[in-house]
Amino acid sequence: MIILGIESSCDETGLALYDTNCGMLGHVVNSQHTIHGKYGGVVPELASRDHVLKLVPLLDELLNLVKLKLSDINLVAFTNGPGLLGPLLTGASFAKSLSWTLKIPSIEVDHLEAHIFSPMISEKNLKPPFISLLVSGGHTILSSITDKSNYKILGKTLDDSAGEVFDKVARHLGLPYPGGPEISNASSKISSSSFKFPRPMINTDCYDFSFSGLKTHVTQLISKTTLTDELISDISYDFENAILDVLISKTLKASNDLNISDIVISGGVSANKRLRERFEKEKNEKNIYFPDLAFSTDNGAMIAYMGWLKYYDNNNDSLEINPKPTSSLA
């Protein structure tokens, strides 16, 4: 079976083709960062319009890349939420139109579930149970995964997500959108910091997160200083490590408390180089899994793969379009 995956939940238009016998055939992604950069965040209407413009050309590009025809596709999987309503409607409408035209089934995929299982695209030996840390621009969720349909949320952010705080602090530092990679780049220029920012909730017994206080602390500091390149790096270094300290500490605590040694880190923030390096140091005692860098941020590959995992459990198909901006996992 060849599955087309369509991702359009926010500001990336991603398409991929997955062969259930051979694995991932190819994927293409169009990022809208240059469109939204001047606004410091995603503008939903502009995102929707760009998805409309890019979906058909990207599908043509993908088919040419893998040397297949439209008629070779057997199933269309698409993101049905969570995300921005306009972009979700755009992708769902495109998916349902293809499904109807080609007379093949389509399946809705939860964007967060797709992130959680994305490391399995390349890690063939990875199977539940595992501890999942999903950390992105919109979510920070720690879960126990027992199978592809059975999750227990252990903790989540009580306010801002980790990725959101990266973007907001970066904007105060005068760095471009998206802010996470920019802060990491600034942080990488030094090996220590003169600051010691709070590590919120790091010593609590629960698995929840809270990053808004850290954000306020750092942005107030920035407002009282004259920024230089050296100071931006100094602030970025300990700010980044403050977030990573909390993420890593809570995840390892969950792993130890539940006696589950397999840990999966996914979502856009999982592309963070220092986060990967620090988790890699735990490999003597834990089995650590990340998605390939190309599949850390939003992409069609994870949607195609999750569509395959879910299809035989839920192949109820209709032309109804009912996007869900929120998720039971969020």
The predicted structure's pLDDT at residue 52:
97
Judged by phi (left if over 0) then psi (alpha if -120 to 50, else beta), residue 23 lies in: left
Same domain? 231 vs 301? no
Same domain? 177 vs 79? no
Q: In what order do the strands lie in the sheet with 130-135?
A: 150-156, 140-147, 130-135, 262-266, 287-289
Q: Which residues of the chain have pLDDT under 70?
A: 314-317, 330
- In this structure, the strands spanning 106-110 and 262-266 are unpaired
In a domain, 234, yes or no: yes
The predicted structure's pLDDT at residue 25:
98
In a domain, 323, yes or no: no
Same domain? 133 vs 276? yes
Same domain? 194 vs 301? no
Same domain? 13 vs 95? yes
In a domain, 327, yes or no: no
48, 54, 59, 60 alpha-carbon torsion, rounded to 10° = 160
Q: Which two tokens stand for residue 154?
A: 């252990």
Q: How far apart are CA 68 and CA 60, in angstroms?
A: 10
Q: How far apart are CA 113 and CA 96, in angstroms?
A: 21
In a domain, 325, yes or no: no
* Cis? peptide before 82, omega within 30° of 0: yes
Same domain? 277 vs 140? yes
Same domain? 96 vs 73? yes
In a domain, 132, yes or no: yes
Q: How far apart are CA 72 and CA 62, in angstroms?
A: 13
The predicted structure's pLDDT at residue 321:
82
Cβ–Cβ under 8 Å, residues 52 and 58: no
The parent domain of residue 197 ranges over 125-290
The predicted structure's pLDDT at residue 329:
74
Question: Domain count of the chain?
Answer: 2
Looking at this protein, which amino acid is placed at residue 140? T
Looking at this protein, which amino acid is placed at residue 106? S
- In this structure, the strands spanning 12-19 and 130-135 are unpaired
The predicted structure's pLDDT at residue 315:
60
In a domain, 318, yes or no: no
Domain CATH code at residue 207 = 3.30.420.40
Same domain? 48 vs 134? no
Same domain? 72 vs 179? no
Same domain? 220 vs 261? yes
